[in-house]
């Protein structure tokens, strides 16, 4: 009984101390539960933020993610913190907010680094590199891609290969061939180890190209042969043709021209057999043309260049069309064929203007100026040379300004990144200091609790609880040592960050010192300029003194000179008398020249009457089509443009032609063309329009005795000729450089002409093409020469061009023919705007 009471009393005595001993454990458990609850809430908020991003609600996502990051801040959860900042970076990237996205990604990078999550850290480095790449800062992009490659632990992984390839791509755009080559090799080795053929082939193509550019042709060809084997095995004919073209280019660089040509022909055959790719064929035919030129085969060279231009036009590559046209202009100019050189210069300028290829336009205007000078057209030669100088100076100025802006832009990006890094380092130092203070406070609180518990222990219970107290002290000492270790690690982190901050501050100070040195140099330059000004002032003073002395000396010698002047005056009076007699002779010669000029003008006027008599009446089309017109406006008294028409049965033949030159030479050619058409009409059975042009070309070549020799005159004509059956409304059309427009139901239909004249030409062996169509009542046909479209004028002194002419014809086609003619004349005169007419103008309109 007594024993039971004693046990009860002991339990009641010990119980309070047992409860007190459990208080720290309960507190730790509550803290753990709180941390788990905050961690779970933060994870849910991040998931909610992701959902808001996916639904496009980015504003709410920013609020949610920032709230999650506030919860995470005191929990030392590096991975969720990094994921939150990465999500913010993705949002700001979509908004193109550079400072915010870079801040977010750098904070994510820091959190992954603290958590030693290397793969995730490398992935964020790659994202930063991509942002710099999009901004055009390729050196910065290559740095971050390289850091990603160096950070990732698994160097034989797909991610490592992609990082290496991205680094190579950045150095390639930075035009650092050696570094690009190094990284493409590194990426290719990894892709090869992973058996990733797509990535390997991609890297090998770049590696081969860079070897070719740096002169390592043997290595380039070896890689191309490996690529060729691979694409042969996979059956990819398109890639094979491209590799064959590249191999041919390498052989050309090695001066093995026949072998290069064989590769080019093999690529051509393969490409044509698998369907034309005009973009690729443009480059291929350009390479073939240059090779043929090197081998001295001018005919094949011109054929290849013409094919290259056709494919450039088909693929919409106006810049390439301009470049090739300029090459052809230079070729013809060197062959002293100024007619074709002028044509290709004009084509080059038009294509360069359409593609905004100002550098090509600059070079072409220089060539065109040389062509006009050799053609004795010095006014146009000077005009084109001034345009060349204007474009050259403008491009050089824009290039210098662009370089300055790019340097300032790169400097600003560097400054911003450095500023963000310093700010993040400062935030981390403050955060670590706060965590250290909290740990110290917790340690002191535990010590105080232990002291209170020791005071509450009863002396009678000390022996019994001594062992428990020893254990408690050991736990406390262990906890204390752990806290000290944590504090030491945090202090080391603070020291490291402080060291980084000092290094960054040193970099900033170094940049500031460089700026101060630059300002100091500028001040020294200014002082030197002031010294020069003082020297100039002293020199001017000395000069004034010398001038005064010279004036004094001049006054002394003036008297002697006056005497000599009197003698000179008598001599001048005698010379004046002689000049008056010579002036009378000059006036007599002037009267003789004016009489001769009048005689020449009268002769030309008579030639004009002869030409008018030879040509049909200007309203001859109304015999067959009442609602028709002819706008005929010669530049000079006589014209190189002419119109012609005849009827045979139910078929009417009508033609509009533009002969080489204008004035008297052009008039002779027009009368010759008119006579040949009459002869063909009277002596042959007409089958179609193309047959007439083929016979007309033969007549012109025979009459002018053209042989196609270098330096020979390239006289001839451009023409549009159509045959219309008045009963069936069948149309046969053929054209030499001049097309035919048909306006039907408000739509303009263009019947293309062959790109060759009536006369000797590089393609003189090619027959003209005949185009057939059936007309409808109400159709409006327009035949014309190039004089209207080539007229300079308007506010900027440019050509009228064909597109505005098409728009004008669409606008007026439904009006009566007489009103159309008046509107064309009015528009032409308004466009001239004080400029002289540059060519004969001839337009015919026919309403069916």
The pLDDT tens digits of the residues spanning 366-410 come to: 999 999 999 888 899 889 999 999 999 989 988 888 888 888 888
The reply to whether 820 falls in a domain is yes
449-452 contact pairs (CB < 8 A, 24+): 449/23, 449/24, 450/476
Tokens of 687: 């089958």
Distances (CA, A) of 573 to 559, 562, 578, 581: 22, 16, 9, 13
DSSP assignment of 306-363: HHHHHHHHHTT-HHHHHHHHHHHHHHHHHTT-HHHHHHHHHHHHHHHHHHT-HHHHHH
Residue percentage of the chain with pLDDT more than 70? 73
C-alpha dist (Å) from residue 326 to 107, 694, 770: 54, 29, 30
For residue 551, pLDDT beyond 70: no
For residue 22, the model assigns a pLDDT of 40
The two structure tokens encoding residue 267: 């690529």
Residue 457 lies in a domain: no
CATH number of the domain within which 692 lies: 3.60.40.10
Is the pLDDT at 505 greater than 80? The verdict is no
Contacts of 710 (CB under 8 A, 6+ apart): 335, 336, 337
List the single range of 7-16, 87-96, 231-240 with lowest mean pLDDT.
7-16
**Taking residues 34-59, what's their average pLDDT?**
81
pLDDT at 470: 63
Q: Is the pLDDT of residue 636 over 80?
A: yes
- Mean pLDDT along residues 745-749: 93
Residue in 232, 227, 231 with CA at minimum distance from that of residue 209: 227
Q: Which domain holds residue 676?
A: 616-847
Do residues 72 and 84 make contact, with C-beta atoms less than 8 angstroms apart? yes
Cβ atoms of 644 and 637 closer than 8 Å: no
pLDDT at position 547 over 60: no
**Could you tell me if 191 and 199 are in contact, meaning their C-beta atoms sit under 8 angstroms apart?**
yes
CA pair distance 226, 76, nearest whole angstrom:
53
Whether 665 is covered by a domain: the verdict is yes
pLDDT at position 90? 93
Q: Distance (Å, rounded) from C-alpha 205 to C-alpha 842?
A: 55
User: Is the pLDDT higher at 774 or at 607?
Assistant: 774
DSSP 603-665: HHHHHHHHHHHHSPPTTGGGGT-SSEEEEEE-SSSS-SEEEEEEEETTEEEEEEEEESSSHHH
* pLDDT, tens digit (0-9, with 9 covering 90-100), for 404-433: 888 888 888 888 888 888 888 777 666 655
Q: What is the pLDDT of residue 456?
A: 61
Is it the case that residue 12 has pLDDT exceeding 50?
no
Model confidence pLDDT, tens digit, residues 642-691: 999 999 889 999 999 999 876 677 788 888 899 899 999 988 888 899 99
Provide the domain count of the chain.
1
Average pLDDT of every residue of the chain = 82
When pLDDT is averaged across residues 141-158 and rounded to a whole number, the result is 93
Query: Taking 70 as the threshold, does the pLDDT of residue 437 lie above it?
Result: no
64-69 average pLDDT score: 88
**The pLDDT value given to residue 161:** 94
149 CB burial (10 A radius; 0-12, 13-18, 19+): buried
**Is 60 exceeded by the pLDDT of residue 711?**
no
**Whole-number pLDDT of residue 30:** 41
How far apart CA 50 and CA 53 sit, in angstroms, is 5
Give the pLDDT score at 499. Answer: 72
Q: How confident is the model at residue 20 (pLDDT cuts 50, 70, 90)?
A: very low
Q: Are 363 and 385 in contact (CB under 8 A)?
A: no
Q: Determine the pLDDT at residue 409.
A: 84
Exposure on the CB side of residue 610, measured as CA atoms within 13 A: 13
pLDDT score, position 207: 94
CA atoms within 13 Å, Cβ hemisphere of 114: 22
Q: pLDDT at position 259, please?
A: 94
Residue 277 is predicted with a pLDDT of 87
Residue of 40, 125, 146, 52 lying closest to 82 (CA atoms): 125
Q: Lowest-confidence range among 133-142, 307-316, 434-443?
A: 434-443
Structure tokens at 403: 């370089």
Q: Which pLDDT does position 1 carry in this prediction?
A: 41
In a domain, 723, yes or no: yes
CA nearest 305: which of 334, 282, 277? 282
Q: What is the pLDDT, as a whole number, of residue 206?
A: 95
Quick check: is 795 in a domain? yes
Q: What is the mean pLDDT of residues 605-618?
A: 72
- Count of residues for the chain? 848
Residue 827 placed within a domain? yes
How far is residue 49's CA from residue 62's CA, in Å, rounded to a whole number?
7
Would residue 255 count as lying in a domain?
A: no
* 16 pLDDT higher than 60: no
Please compute, for residue 268, the number of CA atoms within 13 A of its CA located in the half-sphere on the CB side.
Answer: 19
Q: What's the pLDDT tens digit per position in 171-222? A: 999 989 999 999 999 999 999 999 999 999 999 999 999 999 989 999 999 9
Instruction: Provide the pLDDT for residue 601.
Output: 61
Residue 29: which pLDDT band, with cuts at 50, 70 and 90? very low
> Would 747 be classed as within a structural domain?
yes
Decide which of 828 and 713 is more confident: 828
- pLDDT band at residue 18, thresholds of 50, 70 and 90? very low
């Amino acid at each position: 009984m007594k024993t039971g009471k004693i046990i009860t009393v002991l339990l009641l005595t010990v119980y309070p101390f047992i409860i007190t001993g459990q208080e720290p454990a309960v507190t730790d458990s509550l803290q753990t539960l709180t941390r788990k609850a905050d961690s779970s809430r933060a994870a849910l908020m991040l998931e909610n933020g992701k959902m808001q991003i996916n639904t496009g609600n980015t504003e709410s996502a920013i609020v949610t993610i920032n709230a999650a990051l506030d919860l995470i801040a005191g929990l030392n959860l590096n991975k969720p913190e990094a994921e939150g900042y990465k999500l913010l970076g993705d949002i700001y990237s979509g908004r193109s907010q550079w400072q915010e996205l870079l801040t977010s990604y750098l904070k994510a990078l820091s959190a992954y680094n603290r958590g030693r999550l290397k793969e995730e850290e490398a992935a964020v480095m790659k994202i930063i590199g991509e942002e710099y790449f999009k901004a055009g800062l390729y050196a910065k992009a290559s740095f971050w891609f390289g850091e990603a490659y160096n950070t990732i632990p698994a160097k034989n992984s797909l991610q490592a290969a992609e990082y290496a390839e991205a680094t190579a791509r950045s150095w390639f755009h930075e035009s650092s061939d050696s570094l690009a080559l190094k990284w493409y090799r590194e990426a290719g080795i990894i892709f090869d180890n992973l058996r990733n053929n797509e990535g390997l082939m991609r890297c090998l193509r770049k590696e081969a190209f860079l070897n070719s550019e740096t002169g390592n042709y043997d290595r380039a060809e070896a890689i191309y042969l490996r690529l060729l084997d691979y694409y042969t095995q996979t059956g990819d004919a398109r890639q094979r043709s491209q590799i064959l073209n590249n191999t041919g280019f390498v052989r050309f660089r090695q001066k093995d021209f026949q072998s290069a040509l064989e590769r080019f022909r093999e690529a051509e055959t393969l490409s044509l057999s698998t369907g034309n790719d005009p973009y690729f064929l443009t480059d291929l035919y350009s390479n073939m043309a240059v090779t043929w030129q090197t081998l001295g085969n001018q005919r094949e060279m011109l054929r290849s260049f013409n094919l290259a231009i056709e494919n450039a036009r088909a693929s919409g590559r106006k810049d390439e069309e301009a470049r090739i046209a300029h090459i052809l202009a230079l070729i013809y100019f060197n062959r002293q064929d100024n007619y074709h050189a002028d044509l290709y210069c004009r084509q080059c300028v038009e294509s360069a203007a359409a593609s905004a290829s100002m550098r090509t336009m600059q070079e072409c205007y220089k060539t065109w100026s040389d062509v006009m000078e050799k053609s004795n057209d010095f006014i146009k030669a000077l005009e084109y040379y001034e345009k060349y100088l204007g474009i050259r100076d403008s491009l050089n100025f824009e290039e210098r300004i662009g370089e300055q802006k790019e340097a300032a832009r790169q400097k600003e990006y560097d400054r911003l990144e450095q500023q963000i890094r310093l700010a993040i380092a400062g935030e981390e130092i403050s955060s670590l200091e706060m965590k250290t203070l909290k740990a110290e406070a917790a340690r002191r609180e535990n010590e105080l609790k232990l002291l209170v518990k020791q005071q509450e222990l009863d002396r009678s219970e000390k022996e019994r609880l001594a062992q428990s107290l020893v254990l408690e002290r050991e736990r406390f000492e262990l906890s204390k040592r752990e806290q000290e270790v944590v504090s030491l690690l945090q202090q080391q982190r603070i020291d490291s960050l402080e060291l980084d901050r000092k290094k960054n501050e040193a970099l900033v100070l170094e940049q500031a010192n460089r700026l101060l040195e630059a300002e100091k140099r500028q001040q020294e330059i200014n002082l030197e300029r002031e010294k020069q000004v003082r020297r100039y002032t002293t020199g001017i003073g000395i000069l004034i003194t010398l001038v005064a002395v010279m004036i004094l000396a001049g006054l002394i010698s003036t008297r002697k000179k006056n005497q000599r002047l009197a003698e000179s005056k008598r001599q001048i009076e005698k010379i004046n008398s002689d000049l008056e007699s010579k002036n009378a002779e000059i006036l007599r010669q002037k009267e003789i020249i004016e009489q001769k000029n009048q005689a020449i003008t009268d002769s030309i006027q008579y030639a004009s009457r002869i030409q008018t008599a030879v040509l049909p009446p200007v309203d001859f089309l109304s015999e067959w089509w009442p609602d028709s017109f002819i706008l005929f406006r010669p530049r000079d008294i006589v014209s190189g443009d002419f119109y012609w028409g005849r009827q045979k049965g139910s078929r009417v033949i009508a033609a509009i032609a533009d002969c080489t030159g204008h004035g008297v030479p052009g008039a002779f050619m027009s009368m010759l063309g008119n006579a040949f058409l009459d002869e063909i009409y009277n002596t042959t059975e007409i089958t179609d329009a193309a047959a007439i042009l083929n016979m007309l070309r033969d007549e012109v070549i025979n009459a002018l005795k053209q042989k196609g020799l270098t330096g020979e005159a390239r006289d001839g004509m451009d023409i549009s000729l159509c045959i219309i059956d008045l009963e069936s409304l069948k149309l046969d059309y053929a054209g030499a450089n001049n097309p035919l427009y048909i306006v039907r139901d408000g739509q303009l239909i263009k019947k293309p002409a062959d790109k060759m004249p009536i006369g000797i030409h590089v393609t003189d062996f090619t027959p003209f093409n005949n185009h057939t169509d059936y007309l409808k009542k109400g159709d409006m046909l327009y035949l014309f020469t190039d004089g209207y479209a080539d007229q300079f004028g308007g506010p900027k002194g440019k050509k009228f061009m064909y597109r505005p002419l098409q728009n004008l014809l669409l606008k007026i086609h439904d009006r009566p023919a007489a009103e159309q003619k008046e509107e064309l004349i009015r528009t032409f005169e308004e466009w001239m705007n004080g400029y002289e007419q540059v060519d004969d103008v001839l337009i015919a309109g026919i309403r069916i």
